[in-house]
Amino acid sequence: LSLAAPPKEPVLMCRSNNYPKGFYCSWHLPTPTYIPNYFNISVIHGTKDMVCEKDATPKNRCHIRYLQLFSTVKYKVTLTVTNALGKNFTTLTFDEFAIVKPDPPESVVAKPVPNNPRRLEVSWQNPSSWPDPESFPLKFFLRYRPLILDQWQHVELSDGTSHTITDAYAGKEYIIQVAAKDNDIGTWSDWSVAVHATPWTEEPKHLTTEAQITETTSASTSSFMAPPTTKICDKGAMVGSGAMAVCWTAGLVVAAYSILFI
């Protein structure tokens, strides 16, 4: 049996992920009251009262359009929550620039680079919520590490939406993330969705070694045991369309050895 309660001080957050269009505020109660609550939000800019338009979804969120840019006067947001048993409120005061935080970069893709066992090519896109990257460019922060290690490596990039990692450990699977920030103001976005990638690895050398071992261990009969080519080609670590080409090359090498022993 839960007891109805008056509201505790609500939690309020305001953020501009679409600078310079405007900002949004979202809120929630830290503990449930078990009865309906009514929220009222007011925004004051200097002497002006502004209307924060409630969003359909998610609930408990509203947005405001900036009328002016580069304001010296702070914004004061007050959230009041009321229910049958009581009332509570909280206030946030901030400068236009302080709440700028973009959404994370989108469509992060990481690919191995053919014939380069220590490289990974990473590319991404500006968050779609950022309205004007031409006039308000974003800078990016890339972090990457092999799955087997805990230490991240970081690169900060002041322009462009791609980067080539050149110091990856050969053959190791990597986890990669990107974050964004307005070039001059505000804070970094959250990290993007993580992507995994393994640098290109060279297969044929491995296959030649196996063929030589089979040659020496088998009895000096006319029959020649073909090394298990299928097994090598099915190896999980192989990435990209290079795998098919390597399988064919392996087949040719085996054929060449077979001819030598007939």
User: Looking up tokens 């980067």, which residue turns up?
Assistant: 163
Q: Is 63 in the site for other proteins (CB under 8 A)?
A: no
Per CB under 8 A, 74 contacts other proteins:
yes
Instruction: List the x/- string, 191-230, binding to other proteins by CB under 8 A.
Output: ----------------------------------------
Distance in angstroms (rounded) separating the CA atoms of residues 178 and 175: 11
**How many positions of this chain bind other proteins (CB under 8 A)?**
22
Q: Is 76 in the site for other proteins (CB under 8 A)?
A: yes
CA–CA separation, 220 and 152 (whole Å): 54
Enumerate residues 148-187 that contact other proteins by CB under 8 A. Answer: 183-185
66 binds other proteins (CB under 8 A): yes
The residue among 136 and 224 lying less far from other proteins, judged by its C-beta, is 136
**What whole-number distance in Å separates Cα of residue 120 and Cα of residue 167?**
9
Q: Which is nearer to other proteins, 22 or 251 (CB)?
A: 22
- Both tokens of 73, joined, read 């006067």
- 16 near 23, Cβ under 8 Å? yes
Which amino acid belongs to residue 199?
A: P
Among 26, 60, 71, 125, binds other proteins (CB under 8 A): 71
Among 31, 49, 58, 70, binds other proteins (CB under 8 A): 70
Q: Which of 7, 20, 102, 104: binder of other proteins (CB under 8 A)?
A: 20
Other Cβ atoms within 10 Å of 2 Cβ, number: 8
Query: Cis bond leading into 20, ω under 30°?
Result: yes
89 contributes a contact to other proteins by CB under 8 A: no
Q: Which of 140, 136, 138 is nearest to 122 (CA)?
A: 140
CB of 110 to other proteins, least distance (A): 29
Round the CA-based radius of gyration of the chain to a whole number and report it.
30
The Cα 179–Cα 152 span in angstroms is 14
CA 105 to chain CA centroid, nearest Å: 6
* Shortest Å distance, C-beta 51 to other proteins: 17
* Cβ proximity to other proteins, 135 vs 217, nearer residue: 135
Judged by CB under 8 A, which of 73, 170, 237, 255 binds other proteins?
Answer: 73
CA angle, 106 then 99 then 69, to 5° = 100
The contact set with other proteins (CB under 8 A) reads: 20, 46-47, 66-74, 76, 93, 97, 134-137, 183-185
